[in-house]
Amino acid sequence: MSIHLEDRWYRRTRPQGDRVRTARYGQAPRYRAHFIDGNGTRRSKAFHARRDAERWLVKTEVAHLLKEDA
């Protein structure tokens, strides 16, 4: 399972480089959380707050791991 959290307002020029505004700057929602499960299915959801996106990713990952164990 691969999980990611994307800031849709900024991107980096290089891995440790400067942050640059994107064309979506100022448009809501700011964060997009997405993951690819073991079957290759991509799921995503948009959030206004980073902590909400992180919380959703953790809950989704735990649910996926529990489902694999069953």
Q: Where are the domains of the chain?
A: 2-69
Q: SS3 of 2, please?
A: strand
Residue-wise pLDDT tens digits, 15-66:
778 889 999 998 889 999 998 877 788 889 999 999 999 999 999 888 888 8
Are the C-beta atoms of 41 and 18 separated by less than 8 Å?
A: no
Instruction: Kindly report the pTM of this predicted structure.
Output: 0.75
Residues 6+ apart with CB under 8 A from 62: none
